[in-house]
């Protein structure tokens, strides 16, 4: 019985394929706002990605503003306790140009590294 | 926009982050993707949620589309991956399979409810991989090569899965004949 069915099925392979296609066939699904929903979600995603970093920086800046101002006030008041001879330092004791350039280069490379890590 | 072919729309969506171009792609192919997922899950609501996730994943990974196959083939591969990922996460899919009387190992469950259609009965005798391949072949009309790319299988395996699937159908029909006779 089984071999008969298999032989019959093999002989009528094309019909079997057609039968399977008919079995699997289903009507096209109406869009009914599906694609519009996807586009809305994508646009929202784009907006979130675009604005999340500036907004986070702004909020962080606002939160940090008061303590930073307080720190500046305290630091400026500390100037009065620095000894007089330290305030009138000779120019040689200030960082040299080569030191400044090396520092700037290190800062630049560090910024690039941070950007690469972010990406 | 509606005159542009699929690959042009992909190019536009990738280069300009054009959500409208991608929306046109979704409009064109949503029916096939949703039908594929509805047949895989046998739950319309779950399938539509998965389709939405699949299209969002596709948007994120659009730059990885190499342009070698058809866009619908690539979208269906993303949908299949989304389906597999969600199934690992959730037990909902398992519950649905139990409702339609499917054993995950592909063994036939003898007692089926009357309201289950022919397609469900047929799908119930197939393993998950066989179901995906048969649906991609007979419902979505993909070529063996496209199915291989979508399901990450060699073409030879795709052919043998289709052959095995057909054999299972023949066997299950034979069982049915004996029961009737």
Tens of pLDDT, residue by residue over B6-61, are 889 999 998 888 899 999 999 999 999 999 999 998 888 999 999 999 999 999 99
CA dihedral B97, B99, B103, B109 (to 10 degrees): -150
The 3-state DSSP class for residue B102 equals strand
**Chain B, nearest residue to A21 by Cα:** B138
Farthest-apart Cα atoms in chain A, separation: 112
Summarize pLDDT for B96-105 with one digit per residue, the tens. Answer: 666 655 555 5
Q: Which residues of A touch B170 (CB under 8 A)?
A: 5-6, 9
Question: Residue B1's pLDDT is what?
Answer: 66
Q: Is B175 part of the contact surface with chain A (CB cutoff 8 Å)?
A: no
Residue numbers of B between 154 and 173 with CB closer than 8 Å to A: 166-167, 169-171, 173
What does the alpha-carbon distance between residue B36 and residue B34 come to, in Å, rounded to a whole number?
A: 5
Q: What is the ipTM of this complex?
A: 0.71
**What's the Rg (C-alpha) of chain A?**
36
User: Is 0.90 surpassed by the pTM of this model?
Assistant: no
The structure tokens listed for B119 are: 């397609």
Residue numbers of B between 54 and 73 with CB closer than 8 Å to A: 55-56, 59
Please say whether the beta carbons of A41 and B49 come within 8 A.
no
Question: Residue A10's pLDDT is what?
Answer: 44
Summarize pLDDT for A51-110 with one digit per residue, the tens. Answer: 888 899 899 999 888 888 888 888 888 777 777 666 676 666 677 788 888 889 999 999
The structure tokens listed for B68 are: 């070698």
Residues contacting B146, CB < 8 A, separation 6+: B69, B70, B73, B136
Q: Which residues of B touch A29 (CB under 8 A)?
A: 30-31, 34-35
Range B52-58 contact pairs with CB under 8 angstroms and sequence separation of 24 or more = B52/A34, B52/A37, B52/A38, B52/A41, B53/B82, B53/B86, B54/B78, B54/B79, B54/B82, B54/B83, B55/A38, B55/B26, B55/B30, B56/A38, B56/A41, B56/A42, B56/A45, B57/B81, B57/B82
Average pLDDT over residues B79-86: 91
Summarize pLDDT for B121-177 with one digit per residue, the tens. Answer: 788 888 888 989 999 988 888 888 889 988 889 999 999 999 888 888 777 766 454
Nearest to B30 among A6, A34, A46 (CB): A34
Residues contacting A65, CB < 8 A, separation 6+: none
Q: Which residues of B touch A46 (CB under 8 A)?
A: 17, 19
Please say whether the beta carbons of A53 and B24 come within 8 A.
no
């Amino acid at each position: 019985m089984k071999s008969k069915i298999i032989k019959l099925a093999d002989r009528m392979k094309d019909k079997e394929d057609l039968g399977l296609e008919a079995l699997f066939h289903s009507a096209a699904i109406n869009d009914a706002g599906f694609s519009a929903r996807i586009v809305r979600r994508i646009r929202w995603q784009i907006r979130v990605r675009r604005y999340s970093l500036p907004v986070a920086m702004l909020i962080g800046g606002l939160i940090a503003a008061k303590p930073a101002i307080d720190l500046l006030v305290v630091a400026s008041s500390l100037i009065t306790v620095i000894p007089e001879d330290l305030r009138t330092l000779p120019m040689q004791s200030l960082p040299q140009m080569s030191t400044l350039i090396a520092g700037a280069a290190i800062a630049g490379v560090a910024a690039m590294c941070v950007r690469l890590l972010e990406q | 926009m509606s005159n542009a072919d699929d690959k042009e729309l992909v190019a536009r969506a990738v280069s300009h982050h054009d959500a409208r171009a991608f929306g046109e792609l979704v409009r064109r192919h949503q029916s096939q993707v949703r039908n594929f997922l509805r047949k895989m899950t046998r739950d319309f609501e779950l399938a539509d949620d998965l389709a939405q996730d699949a299209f969002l994943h596709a948007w994120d990974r659009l730059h990885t589309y190499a342009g070698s196959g058809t866009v619908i083939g690539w979208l269906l591969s993303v949908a299949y991956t989304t389906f597999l990922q969600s199934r690992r996460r959730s037990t909902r899919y398992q519950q649905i399979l139990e409702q339609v009387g499917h054993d995950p190992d592909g063994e036939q469950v003898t007692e089926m409810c009357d309201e289950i259609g022919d397609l469900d009965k047929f799908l119930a005798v197939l393993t998950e991989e066989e179901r995906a391949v048969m649906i991609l072949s007979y419902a979505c009309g993909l070529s063996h090569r496209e199915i291989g790319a979508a399901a990450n299988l060699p073409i030879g395996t795709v052919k043998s899965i289709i052959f095995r699937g057909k054999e299972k159908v023949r066997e299950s029909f034979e069982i049915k004949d004996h029961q009737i006779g």
